[in-house]
Chain A
Amino acid sequence: MTTTELPRFKRGRAPLLGLVTLIILVAGAMAGLLAVPADALQGEVQRLMYVHVPAAWLAMLAFFVVFVMSVLYLIQRDPRWDLIAVSSAEIGIVFTALTLVLGSLWGKPTWGVWWTWDPRLTTTAIMLMIYVGYLVVRSFAEDPEKRARWSAIIGIVGFVDVPIVYLSVLWWRTLHQPPSSPRSMAGEFVYVLLLNVAAFTFLYAYLMVRRYRLAVAERQLEELRLSREDRGGR
């Protein structure tokens, strides 16, 4: 399949998506900082929940997309699935790193430490390393098909850690609290959290459009370089 068969986005969609995303993100931040009261026990630092939880959700969503695209690639060998997978992996890495930093900032005033080898924190750090490894492996492979195949295998095997991250707080005794739910939070906290989760999901969609566009351009550049090398070698 050549890059000319890769799908393209209609003019004007991405900026509109970006504008909608920005509006929802600002609304979510305003709601989290101003509209709801601080937590009675933790105080102001609890407001980090409105960015920490959505960032963690987004990271898991991104890696789920990597998993699905990796399976599709191995079945259909369509390079589009590979390009979507690498785009999602990179975005997932950004949000996993953000999750860890925000968790650390939340942990210091509440637990008294920046970091502890707690099951949730440790499995999240492992998740980050798996997907950084995914990108490193890609950078080593010269042949696009081999690269796509290797990274699809890592994208499938590596996803095993994602449900472990989610379930870690249920399986083991941890410092980290169990998953937040409407039953464990006041109603106004739930609405603001859901607004921020929606905002980050829009953000994921926007970043995916931008990152996928870049992946297609990089793929075209690579094909040009390979065809020039091929011609030069003859």
Chain B
Amino acid sequence: MEGQASGTPFMVAGYLITWVVLVWYAWRLERRFLSARRVLPADAEPPAGEGTSENG
């Protein structure tokens, strides 16, 4: 069916865009956190997401 075949590139593009955006966003969060932590002085006790344990 012609209509079905013509939809395949749109479906592939949709999945590709989804994965690229999600990986890019997760990577950007990591980069932004690392650059913020670099600027924080050592005694500022950076809030590593999997970092220190208890509520301060």
Contacts and interface: CB of A to CB of B under 8 A. Distances in A.
Nearest to B32: A214
Interface residues of A, number: 51
Contact of A224 (B1, B40, B52, B56): B40
A47 B13 CA distance: 11
Given A13-B50, A210-B29, A213-B49, A43 B21 contact: no
Interface string A1-20: 00111111111111100000
B41 A224 contact: yes
A198 interface: no
Interface string B24-56: 011001101100110111001111111111111
A105 B4 contact: no
B45 to A, nearest CB: 7
A8 B39 contact: no
A61 interface: no
Nearest to A33: B15
Contacts of B5: 43-44
B10 A108 contact: yes
A106 B8 CA distance: 10
A221 interface: yes
A43 to B, nearest CB: 3
B17 to A, nearest CB: 6
Interface in A55-86: 55
Given A109-B6, A220-B46, A10 B17 contact: no
A207 B51 CA distance: 16
Contact of A8 (B10, B26, B40, B56): B56
A109 B53 CA distance: 51
Given A9-B49, A14-B50, A210-B49, A48 B56 contact: no
Interface of B: 1, 3-8, 10-11, 13-15, 17-19, 21-22, 25-26, 29-30, 32-33, 36-37, 39-41, 44-56
Given A45-B11, A98-B18, A224-B44, 17 more contacts: A5-B56, A7-B55, A8-B55, A8-B56, A29-B15, A43-B5, A94-B25, A101-B14, A102-B17, A109-B6, A207-B25, A207-B29, A210-B29, A210-B33, A213-B33, A213-B49, A214-B32
